[in-house]
């Protein structure tokens, strides 16, 4: 038995929570989860089917793989194609199509592209191969950024001269603001991402209830966590309250992990970033600070990626904003499947399209 996992799968408690949810759902309510790990948890555990019909679950832009733009993937591919370099990244990035090809395809064509579990593995690769530049294609939200900052500081402490980053990190609260500002979908409550919040705490979401009147509950990822998070959101709505509450109290402290944030801000500074579907969002990305520029792959290698293009007919952008659902897309489950994906939402194991394809009705 894995501790702190199985206890949160109890069927009787799920029935109790579902009954409580049914009792307090009096009108039509849209709840949005903004984390791909929640999207998968909700599908995998059949949570949509347990909820009463007036309650709709929307999936937001919460998968770092999915929101990475074609332009950024094209850049990583151009870097991987430099002679004599190794490009390392997380497994989910391999199959994501850029404008013309994916990292998996350039690997098949002979480039040295490696999948790592931890950014530390890429640092070790650089340490063990001092003659070979190792570029880490760094994607991820606030959960992952501290691990990359820590790895970079480790590379610095080791005196490595052959470790580089492409930083396409994204920050979640600015994307939530962009969704609310766009006003394309009506959102009555946010299921806030548990593991992002392990790092950032509850403070960065406060503008959402304060300025937009939308309740937030920071939620864990086991099925009972998700049901309890939904029940807490509905209770806020029923009471006419809007605040940031923490359901996932065993992992999230209100102050987050200050040391992790300190390491991040030592290495990175905020910058505007391009998101697939959402466009450019102010201060929603992270770039290396000037004193760490020597680790910046784009500063070191002269690359000239081809002009970017979007995939015709692909609705990933609308799906990431919660405006459309996968069955609305003409490519879904026909031209676009997990075996032969067109858009990133079908590639990523946490993509909304992959979730619908695997667990939903087609």
Q: How far is the CB of 132 from another protein (least distance, A)?
A: 21
Encoded tokens for 106: 């350039």
Q: How far is the CB of 332 from another protein (least distance, A)?
A: 22
Q: How far is the CB of 93 from another protein (least distance, A)?
A: 9
Q: How far is the CB of 256 from another protein (least distance, A)?
A: 8
Nearer to another protein, 17 or 87 (CB): 17
- Burial label for 242, CB within 10 Å (0-12, 13-18, 19+), is middle
Stretch (H or E) spanning 246: strand 244-246
Nearer to another protein, 132 or 249 (CB): 249
Only one residue has tokens 């408690």, namely 13
Q: How far is the CB of 229 from another protein (least distance, A)?
A: 11
Nearer to another protein, 33 or 331 (CB): 33
Nearer to another protein, 82 or 143 (CB): 143
The CA-atom distances, in angstroms, between 226 and each of 95, 223, 282, 361 are: 29, 5, 30, 21
Residues that bind another protein (CB under 8 A): 2-5, 7-8, 10-20, 35-37, 62-65, 90, 92, 117-121, 139-141, 143-144, 146-147, 150, 153-154, 193-196, 198-199, 221, 224, 228, 247, 249-253, 257, 259-260, 263, 348, 350
Specify the pairing of strand 134-138 against strand 86-89. parallel
Nearer to another protein, 212 or 248 (CB): 248
Q: What is the DSSP letter of 324?
A: S
Residue 304's Cβ-side half-sphere holds a number of Cα atoms within 13 Å equal to 0
Encoded tokens for 150: 């820590």
Q: Is 94 helix (H, G, I), strand (E, B) or coil?
A: coil
């Amino acid at each position: 038995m894995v501790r702190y996992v199985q206890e949160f799968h109890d069927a009787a408690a799920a029935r109790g929570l579902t009954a409580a949810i049914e009792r307090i759902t009096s009108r039509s309510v849209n709840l949005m989860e903004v984390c791909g790990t929640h999207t998968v948890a909700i599908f995998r555990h059949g949570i949509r089917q347990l909820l009463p019909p007036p309650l709709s679950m929307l999936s937001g832009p919460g998968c770092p793989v999915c929101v990475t733009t074609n332009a950024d993937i094209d850049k990583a591919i151009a870097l991987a194609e430099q002679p004599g370099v190794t490009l390392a990244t997380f497994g989910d990035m391999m199959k994501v199509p850029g404008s013309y090809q994916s990292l998996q395809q350039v690997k098949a064509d002979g480039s040295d592209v490696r999948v790592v579990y931890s950014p530390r593995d890429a640092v070790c690769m650089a340490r063990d191969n001092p003659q070979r530049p190792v570029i880490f294609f760094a994607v991820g939200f606030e959960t992952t950024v501290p691990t990359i900052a820590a790895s970079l500081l480790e590379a610095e402490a080791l005196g490595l001269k052959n470790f580089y980053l492409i930083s396409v990190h994204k920050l979640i609260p600015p994307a939530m603001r962009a969704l609310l500002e766009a006003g394309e979908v009506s959102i009555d409550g946010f299921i806030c991402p548990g593991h992002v919040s392990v790092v950032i705490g509850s403070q960065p979401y406060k503008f959402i209830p304060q300025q937009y009147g939308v309740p937030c509950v920071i939620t864990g990822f086991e099925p009972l966590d998700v049901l309890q998070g939904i029940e807490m959101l509905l209770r806020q709505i029923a009471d006419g309250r809007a605040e940031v509450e923490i359901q996932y109290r065993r992992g999230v402290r209100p102050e987050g992990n200050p040391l992790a944030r300190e390491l991040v801000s030592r290495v990175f500074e905020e910058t505007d970033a391009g998101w697939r579907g959402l466009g450019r969002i102010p201060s929603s990305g992270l770039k290396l600070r000037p004193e760490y520029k020597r680790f910046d792959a784009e500063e070191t290698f002269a690359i000239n990626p081809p002009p970017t293009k979007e995939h015709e007919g692909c609705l990933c952008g609308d799906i990431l904003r919660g405006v459309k659902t996968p069955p609305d897309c003409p490519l879904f489950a026909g031209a676009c499947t997990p075996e032969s994906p067109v858009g990133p939402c079908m590639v990523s194991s946490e993509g909304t399209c992959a979730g619908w394809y695997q667990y939903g009705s087609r």
